[in-house]
A and B are shown apart, each in its own frame.
Chain A
């Protein structure tokens, strides 16, 4: 099993460009999450999807949108990238919200 697959691994954008981060899991998990990690700030929740067909805002949703395409896939879109969105992004999934999170390998995003 691949677990949680996240693409791309690295991305450089110019301010104002858009892009979509892809995430897929093959563990039949109900819940999926997008976190961003900045030095000294821990892992901050951007959006999450408790189950297929639902999405909800996390701690830092501004500037992002998400789509739970099906049970396997949960994408994160930056419509107009800003330097403040330079970060490492992690997708994660779990069977339920009170179960172990499985993380993807992360995406290192730089916005110039």
Chain B
């Protein structure tokens, strides 16, 4: 069915290393792809988003890339720090289901000092 798939479900890296989380989506009409970060016991918060008219967007140590042909997008975190430890969610709008914002299953990132 129509959905958003996210991998990996858990990711452990050493402080200073890079982390990459990947998502695929099924609706070719999707044009908005946000990433949310959720710290333990808190609400999700937007960290970066990308629209289909660009292939990459950066904000300091965070970047998102989009491949519309392959229908996948990725979150890249460079020079990871312990405070990056959290659950990260990707999302996409599924227009063929009436314009619903659907989330991936989440990636629990652990950054070890």
User: A residues touching B (Cβ–Cβ < 8 Å)?
Assistant: 33, 35, 40-45, 48, 50, 56, 58-59, 90, 97-98, 100-101, 103-106
Contacts and interface: CB of A to CB of B under 8 A. Distances in A.
Interface of B: 6, 9, 31-32, 34, 36, 43-46, 49, 51, 89, 93, 98-106
B99 to A, nearest CB: 5
B105 A97 contact: no
B100 A45 contact: yes
Nearest to B45: A103
Q: Is the interface of A mostly helix, strand, loop or mixed?
A: loop
A42 B100 contact: no
Contacts of B34: 100-101
A105 B41 CA distance: 9
B104 to A, nearest CB: 6
9 contacts: A35-B103, A41-B105, A42-B89, A43-B44, A43-B89, A45-B102, A45-B103, A56-B98, A97-B93
Q: Is the interface of B mostly helix, strand, loop or mixed?
A: strand
Contacts, number: 54
A42 B106 contact: yes
Nearest to B30: A98
B49 A100 contact: yes
Select the residue from A33, A41, A42, A48 with max chain B CB neighbours within 10 A: A42
B101 A97 contact: yes
Nearest to B1: A59
Contacts of A104: 43
B89 A97 contact: no
Given A41-B105, A98-B93, A50 B99 contact: yes
